[in-house]
Amino acid sequence: MSRTIVALATPPGVSGLAVIRMSGDESFDIISRCFVHKNKIDYTKTGRIYYGKIVDNDSVIDSVTISVFKSPKSYTGEDSIELGCHGNSILAYSIVDILVKNGATYAEPGEFTKRAFLNGKIDLIQAEAIADLIHSVNVAGITTATKQLEGKFTDRLKIMRQKLLDISSLLELELDFADEGLDLIQKSRIENEINEAIDFCSGLIAGYVSAEAGRNGYYVAIAGYPNSGKSTLFNALADKDRAIVSDQAGTTRDYLEETIYIDGIKIIVADTAGIRDTDDTIEIQGIRMVESVIKKAHLIIVLNDITVSSGNSDNLYNTFKDKYSDKEILLVQNKADLIKVDNIYSISAKYGEGIMVLRAIIAEKAVNSISLLNDLMVNSRHLQLLLTAKEHLENAQSAVKNDYENELIAIDLRKSTGILGEITGESWNEEVLANIFSRFCIGK
């Protein structure tokens, strides 16, 4: 018998209602010890709602509703109760405590969803979708997480995996009839299926960056030489005087971040220290930090002071291009109020000229980046598995090309299907589960 767990499922604070969730074999016994209802409650029927009072030592604590979910027809698959009380967190927590006093224990983060997984209500991909659905910062992330939760990706993966299993079975069967020289499967079919599976993995791998942007926001770093106007541009984009602006080179030391929303997309803009050779130890630290900010960025804006020369930052731009080939890099000319240039990427950060256009360009790049999302919010766990699966598939692909033994091809195919199975949780271990569910909030 598992312990019966309880937690507040809504955020603490003032709200219209708060929802408390309880799940486990003793849920119905525990609630009947402290919930008073005018009639008898039918705990054999799932999805019924009852209005009554929570009492503790004969004193009434709150008027509440309880929803009864009889196993297996519940979120966790266990007997469960969802209790709606007034939205004062002191009150809600005191009801949680009363339920604990009557036999429940406090739930750990993600424990309800973990039980849903262990009871076969959802697979690992769907459990992760629930976390992403709650935490996504834009509509694309939410839409993708919803598809993932509905099992769209799981279905797609199953079909692809089954095809690979089929061809490896046929390859192995052929081995058994090797003496008869029986051809059970055409080489072209094997090649096609493997290519398709590789494309499947590549598409998802490419979606990782999109998913991260969907999860945390699209990150834009402003970089450049000192005095090019980075802090001025940062303030213009954030629409407030956040960073210090001065005509002294080396003004910005730490980096600053501001969150802005363009067309409903969460974008994080970072201002960084100007890059130059300097003896100032604090400034050197700031310049080192630029690197860490750039690494996080999806888009790097290299801001050039056109009054120095339009090609002044070309070196820096090219260095970034070489070093960060996976990132978007945009060279923008600043101080165009002083020298006129015919370039759409020229602005006057100080006087706000071209800022609207720049915002639109940033938004477009953010939308493009997020649009790679399909039906899976790829996370680092998936990414590692996909990269390994793809490696095995590529080995199998070259084994076919080189007319290697069936056995060799099948070994790599089996390895890839095993790894792809780990994505949905067909095989798992406690460490993987602990990692996934520790990132959930309590009550989910």
Ligand X SMILES: Nc1nc2c(ncn2[C@@H]2O[C@H](COP(=O)(O)OP(=O)(O)OP(=O)(O)O)[C@@H](O)[C@H]2O)c(=O)[nH]1
- Would you tell me which residues interact with ligand X (CB under 6 A)? 226-232, 245-247, 249-252, 273-274, 334-335, 337-338, 348-350
Token pair, residue 438, equals 């520790």
**Nearer Cβ to ligand X (190/220):** 220
252 is an interface residue for Mg ion by CB under 5 A = yes
**Nearer Cβ to Mg ion (83/237):** 237
Min dist CB 358 to Mg ion, Å, is 17
Q: Are 365 and 299 in contact (CB under 8 A)?
A: yes
| SS3 label, residue 159 | helix
How far, in Å, CA of 288 to CA of 285, rounded?
5
Min dist CB 254 to ligand X, Å, is 11
**Nearer Cβ to ligand X (91/355):** 355
Question: Looking up tokens 């490419």, which residue turns up?
Answer: 206
How far, in Å, CA of 134 to CA of 112, rounded?
15
231 is an interface residue for Mg ion by CB under 5 A = yes
Span interacting with Mg ion, options 51-59, 246-254, 341-349, 392-400, rule CB under 5 A: 246-254
Q: Judged by CB under 5 A, which of 65, 216, 251, 379 binds Mg ion? A: 251
**Nearer Cβ to ligand X (18/273):** 273
**Nearer Cβ to ligand X (65/307):** 307
Min dist CB 227 to ligand X, Å, is 4
Given ligand X, Mg ion, none, residue 80, with its beta carbon under 5 to 8 Å by kind, binds none
Amino acid code (one letter) for 267: I
Contacts of 343 (CB under 8 A, 6+ apart): 333
**Nearer Cβ to ligand X (308/387):** 308
**Per-residue mark of binding to Mg ion, 181-220 (x: CB under 5 A):** ----------------------------------------
**Nearer Cβ to ligand X (170/301):** 301
Span interacting with Mg ion, options 10-18, 65-73, 173-181, 226-234, rule CB under 5 A: 226-234
272 is an interface residue for Mg ion by CB under 5 A = no
Q: Are 330 and 301 in contact (CB under 8 A)?
A: yes
Q: Are 51 and 37 in contact (CB under 8 A)?
A: yes
Given Mg ion, ligand X, none, residue 207, with its beta carbon under 5 to 8 Å by kind, binds none
Going 6 to 115 to 213 to 296, the CA torsion angle's sign is positive
Given ligand X, Mg ion, none, residue 210, with its beta carbon under 5 to 8 Å by kind, binds none
Given ligand X, Mg ion, none, residue 349, with its beta carbon under 5 to 8 Å by kind, binds ligand X
Given ligand X, Mg ion, none, residue 250, with its beta carbon under 5 to 8 Å by kind, binds ligand X
How far, in Å, CA of 274 to CA of 272, rounded?
6
Inter-CA distances, 207 with 156, 323, 353, Å: 16, 21, 34
Min dist CB 164 to Mg ion, Å, is 53
Inter-CA distances, 242 with 207, 405, 440, Å: 33, 65, 33
374 is an interface residue for Mg ion by CB under 5 A = no
**Nearer Cβ to Mg ion (28/225):** 225
Min dist CB 304 to ligand X, Å, is 10
Q: What is the DSSP letter of 179?
A: G
For the chain, state the CA radius of gyration.
Answer: 29
User: What is the CA angle 28-32-36, rounded to 5?
Assistant: 140
235 is an interface residue for Mg ion by CB under 5 A = no
Min dist CB 118 to ligand X, Å, is 53
278 is an interface residue for Mg ion by CB under 5 A = no
**Nearer Cβ to Mg ion (230/266):** 230
> 162: phi > 0 → left, psi -120 to 50 → alpha, else beta; which?
alpha
**Nearer Cβ to ligand X (158/242):** 242
DSSP per-residue letters across 240-264: S--S---SSTT---S-EEEEEEETT
How far, in Å, CA of 273 to CA of 326, rounded?
23
Token pair, residue 290, equals 């630029």
How far, in Å, CA of 21 to CA of 83, rounded?
6
346 is an interface residue for Mg ion by CB under 5 A = no
Return the residue nearest ligand X (CB atom): 274
Sheet holding 299-305, edge to edge: 256-262, 265-271, 218-223, 299-305, 328-334
Min dist CB 233 to ligand X, Å, is 7
Min dist CB 230 to Mg ion, Å, is 5
Binding site for Mg ion (CB under 5 A): 230-231, 251-252
